[in-house]
A and B are shown apart, each in its own frame.
Chain A
Amino acid sequence: MTNYKNAKHQLKGEIKNIFCRDEYCRITIEAPAMCQVAEPGQFVMVRASEEKSNDPLFRRPFSIHQVADGLLTIIFKIVGRGTRNLAKMKAAELLDVIGPLGKGFHVANVQRHYLVGGGMGIAPLHFLAESIRKQHPESEIIALLGARTAKELDAFAHLNSLGYLQVATSTDDGTAGHHGLVIDLLEQSVAARGSGAVYCCGPGPMMKAIALFCQDKKMPCQVSLETVMACGVGACLGCAVSGADVIGDGYLHVCKDGPVFEAAKIWL
Chain B
Amino acid sequence: MVVRRPDLTVAIGDWQLANPIMTASGTFGYGAEFADFVNLNRLGAIVVKGVSVKPRIGNPPPRIVETACGMLNAIGLENPGIEKFLTDKMPQLKKYTCGIVVNILGDSLEEYCTLAERLNETDIAAIEVNISCPNVKKGGVAFGTDAKMVYDVTRCVRERSDKPIIMKLSPNVTDIAAMAAAAEEGGASAVSLINTLLGMAIDIRTRRPKLANKVGGLSGPAIKPIALRMVWQVAQRVKVPVIGIGGISTVEDVVEFLLAGATAIQIGTANLVNPKAAEELVDGLENYLLENKIASAKELINGLIT
> What is the interface of chain A, defined by CB distance below 8 A to chain B?
2, 7-10, 47, 54-59, 98, 227-231, 233-242, 246, 250-251
Shortest Cβ gap from B28 to chain A (Å): 6
CA distance A59 to B275 in the complex (A): 11
Closest partner residue, chain B, to A8 (CB atom): B36
Taking a contact as CB atoms under 8 Å apart, the answer to whether A236 and B58 are in contact is: no
Q: Name B's interface SS.
A: loop
Taking a contact as CB atoms under 8 Å apart, the answer to whether A57 and B58 are in contact is: no
Interface locus among B66-74, B103-111, B282-290, B295-303: B66-74
Most buried by B among A7, A54, A228, A234: A54
Also in contact, A230 and B29, with CB within 8 A (given A54-B221, A59-B273, A242-B60): no
CA distance A236 to B63 in the complex (A): 10
Shortest Cβ gap from A3 to chain B (Å): 9
Taking a contact as CB atoms under 8 Å apart, the answer to whether A235 and B64 are in contact is: no
Is B26 in contact with chain A by the CB < 8 A criterion? yes
Selected from A55, A59, A236, A241, the residue in CB contact (under 8 A) with B64 is A236
Selected from A54, A59, A228, the residue in CB contact (under 8 A) with B65 is A228
CA distance A119 to B57 in the complex (A): 33
Chain A contacts for B58, CB-based, 8 A: 237, 240, 250-251
Q: Please count how many residues in chain B sit with their CB below 8 Å of the partner chain's CB atoms.
A: 38
Taking a contact as CB atoms under 8 Å apart, the answer to whether A9 and B36 are in contact is: yes
Selected from B27, B59, B62, B221, the residue in CB contact (under 8 A) with A236 is B27
Chain A contacts for B62, CB-based, 8 A: 227-228
Taking a contact as CB atoms under 8 Å apart, the answer to whether B75 and A237 are in contact is: yes
Taking a contact as CB atoms under 8 Å apart, the answer to whether A58 and B63 are in contact is: no
Chain B contacts for A57, CB-based, 8 A: 66, 69-71, 220-221, 269, 273
Shortest Cβ gap from A43 to chain B (Å): 15
14 A-B pairs besides A229-B64, A235-B29 with CB distance below 8 A are A7-B36, A54-B220, A55-B69, A57-B71, A57-B220, A57-B273, A231-B275, A233-B29, A235-B272, A237-B78, A238-B73, A242-B61, A251-B57, A251-B58
